[in-house]
Amino acid sequence: MRHQVVIIGAGPSGLLLGALLHQAGIDTLILERQSRDYVLARIRAGVLEEGTVGLLRRAGCAARLEREGLVHEGFALNFAGQHLRIDIKALTGGRTVTVYGQTEVTRDLMEHRAASGAPTVYEARDVALHDFDGPNPRVTWTQDGQSREAGCDIIAGCDGYHGVSRASVPAGAIETFERVYPFGWLGVLADVPPCSHELIYAGHERGFALCSMRSNTRSRYYVQCRSDDDVKRWSDDMFWDELRRRLDPAAAAQVVTGPSIEKSIAPLRSFVAEPLRFGRLFLAGDAAHIVPPTGAKGLNLAAGDVHYLSEALIAFYEDRSEGALDTYSARALDRIWKAERFSWSLTTLLHRFDTSPPFERRMQDAEFALLRSSETARRALAEGYVGLPY
C-alpha cells in the first residue's frame, strides 16, 4: 500500500489538511487511534476566525457553518465589576468571528471526507513512524489485530499533544517551550439560552469566568478552578452560583440555569515545539503547540498551520522542489508565537494567580484601565482576537 501523504490523527488539523490536499488531487491516508464517535465526543472551544472559515469554505466544508454559525461583532470584558465592550468589527476595519463548535467543525469535515471516498482508518492501534529522515518514509499500525504498513512521500503529524509523531523525533532534534498555569477551567454545557448575545470574559478576585455559547439555545460556561480539582465535587448548583458571583450584576441576573449536559475540567498550558519539519515528517496543530483556551486560538492556530502546510505540499507536488517544504516551519512558527503571546497575555490579564505578589495584581488593574482609556489598546486586543492574516 502506498499513498502520497499519510496523515496521523483525525482531529480538525488532520481532517482539514486531508480535505485541502484531496481537493488539489493529492492522495492521503488518515490514521486515527480512536473511534469516530470518541473523536466527536470531545467538547472544545467554539470561536472561528475569518481565516479558519475561509479555509473550511475552500475545502468545501462550510455549508452548515454558514447556515448555523453565529457571526459576532464584539465581546465583553468584565473586570472587578466593570463592563467593557470590545467592538471588534469597528476596531479591525470590519472583521468578525463566527461562533460554531469545534465538535461540529470536526463532524462536517468527517462527513465530507467519507463522501469524498478518501481513506480513513479509525481505531488504528500502535501507529509507528519509520524512515522519515529519507525520501521513502513508512507508517505501520495494527488494525483488527493485523499488522499493516503504508509507504508514502510525506508524513503529516496531526495527532495532538499526546500523539506519536512528535514523540518519534530524536530528542536532540527538537526544542520545546512550555508554561503550565497553576489552575484549570471547569466547563459546563447546558441547553439554556446564553446570558448575553456576545461572549463575556470576566476577571474577578474569585477567579476567571467565561460566558460562551454554541447556539441561541445552548450555552457554554467556564469558571477558573484549582488544577487538582475534582469535577465530581461540583454540583450544577455550585457551578451556577460560582459563575454568577464572578460576573457583573447585570450579566449575572441574565444567567438562565439548567441541568448540565457536560461538565469537565481542562488544564491550561502554553507549549511550542521547534522546528516543525524533520526530514519528511511535518507537525501541525496540537502536535506542535498548545495555547490556554482564553481567546479560543487552539483550532484557529491549527487551521493556520494547515494552510501553510497544504500550500507547501501542493507546491512540492507541482514542481517536485523541496523549497516550499523548507519554509513551512518558519512561516507557521511566526504566526504560532504571536498567537501564543496573545493567549498568554489574555490569560494573565484575567486569571487569579494565588501566588502572585500584589505588584502583579496592580499590573492587571493597570492593563484593564489602559483598555478602558485607550482605543489603541483595544484595537490591539481586537486584532489578536480576530486573528492575524495568513
Name residue 312's amino acid: A
Distance CA(10)–CA(216), nearest Å, equals 29
72 is catalytic: yes
Give the distance, in angstroms, between the CA of residue 148 and the centroid of all CA atoms in the same chain.
Answer: 31
Q: Residue 9 binds which one of ligand PHB, ligand APR, none, with CB within 5 to 8 A depending on kind?
A: ligand APR
Does 127 interact with ligand APR (rule: CB under 6 A)? yes
Does 280 interact with ligand APR (rule: CB under 6 A)? no
* Best CA proximity match to 142, nearest among 169, 168, 158, 121: 121
Q: How many residues contact ligand PHB, by CB under 6 A?
A: 11
**Please, which residue, 125 or 197, has the CB nearer to ligand PHB?**
197
Please classify residue 178 by burial: count the beta carbons closer than 10 Å to its beta carbon, then call 0-12 exposed, 13-18 middle and 19+ buried.
Answer: exposed
201 is catalytic: yes
293 is catalytic: yes
Does 11 interact with ligand PHB (rule: CB under 6 A)? no
DSSP assignment string, 240-264: HHHHHHHS-HHHHHHPPP--EEEEE
Output the nine-digit C-alpha cell for 307. Answer: 494552510
Q: What is the DSSP letter of 232?
A: G
Q: Which of 3, 12, 22, 72 is catalytic?
A: 72
CB hemisphere CA count around 379 (13 angstroms): 8
Binding-site string for ligand PHB from residue 195 to residue 214, where x marks contact by CB under 6 A and - marks none:
----x----------x-x--
Q: Which of 100, 181, 201, 328 is catalytic?
A: 201
Does 220 interact with ligand PHB (rule: CB under 6 A)? yes
- For 67, other C-beta atoms within 10 Å of its C-beta total 8
Q: What is the DSSP letter of 43?
A: -
* Best CA proximity match to 258, nearest among 272, 268, 243: 243
Q: Which stretch binds ligand PHB (CB under 6 A): 140-148, 243-251, 293-301, 303-311?
A: 293-301
222 is catalytic: no
Q: Residue 51 binds which one of ligand PHB, ligand APR, none, with CB within 5 to 8 A depending on kind?
A: none
Q: Shortest approach of ligand PHB to residue 289 CB, angstroms?
A: 16
Does 46 interact with ligand APR (rule: CB under 6 A)? no
Distance CA(254)–CA(247), nearest Å, equals 10
Does 268 interact with ligand APR (rule: CB under 6 A)? no
Does 198 interact with ligand APR (rule: CB under 6 A)? no
Distance CA(163)–CA(27), nearest Å, equals 22
**Which of 69, 184, 285, 293 contacts ligand PHB by CB under 6 A?**
293
385 is catalytic: yes
Distance CA(272)–CA(141), nearest Å, equals 27
**Please, which residue, 293 or 304, has the CB nearer to ligand PHB?**
293
* Best CA proximity match to 309, nearest among 328, 293, 330, 287: 328
What number of residues does the chain have? Answer: 390
Does 17 interact with ligand PHB (rule: CB under 6 A)? no
Binding-site string for ligand PHB from residue 46 to residue 75, where x marks contact by CB under 6 A and - marks none:
xx----------------------------
Does 121 interact with ligand APR (rule: CB under 6 A)? no
Distance CA(224)–CA(346), nearest Å, equals 14
Q: What is the DSSP letter of 231?
A: G
Does 108 interact with ligand APR (rule: CB under 6 A)? no
* Best CA proximity match to 316, nearest among 55, 2, 26: 26
**Which of 158, 188, 251, 272 contacts ligand APR by CB under 6 A?**
158
**Which of 101, 137, 160, 387 contacts ligand APR by CB under 6 A?**
160
Does 296 interact with ligand PHB (rule: CB under 6 A)? yes
Distance CA(213)–CA(218), nearest Å, equals 6
Residues assigned a catalytic role? 72, 201, 293, 297, 385
Rule CB under 6 A: which residues touch ligand PHB?
A: 45-47, 199, 210, 212, 220, 293-296
Rule CB under 6 A: which residues touch ligand APR?
A: 8-14, 31-34, 39, 44-45, 102, 124, 127, 158-160, 162-164, 285-286, 298-299, 302
